[in-house]
Amino acid sequence: MKPGNVVIAEFHGVVNTKRRPAIVVSGDVYHQERPDVLLAVVTTQTDKADCLTDYILQDWQSAGLNKPSAVRIFLFTVPKNKIAEIGELSERDWAEVRKRLQIAFNF
């Protein structure tokens, strides 16, 4: 498990629980010390990805996704044993997601 991996995870939303793709944003130190993984939501609603912290993936197919998708810096945690890896972001997409994380956390 490493940052930039694309996984499928159970996302507990306001209305219901849904299996959906997500991006691993936590790193090695976090993974060594915690039983969970920190994830950012992936959505196929690219028309709604209009915030400074949203990013429409350019290489979504090579990342293992079935439809055009966007990453939203809406973070959640899931136990490591409850996720399944399906791919990895390209270098350019991962660089852009990291920029959105920096914007979101003002660092």
What would the pLDDT profile of 15-47 be if each residue is shown by its tens digit?
777 889 999 999 999 999 999 999 999 999 999
Mean pLDDT score, 55-76: 96
Supply the CATH classification number for the domain 5-105: 2.30.30.110
Tokens linked to 62:
């090579």
pLDDT value for 15:
75
Mean pLDDT score, 64-76: 96
Q: What is the distance between the alpha carbons of residues 42 and 49, in angstroms, rounded to a whole number?
A: 10
pTM, two decimal places: 0.93
Evaluate whether 28 touches 96 at the Cβ level (below 8 Å): no
pLDDT of 1 over the 90 cut:
no
pLDDT value for 46:
96
The domains of the chain are located at: 5-105
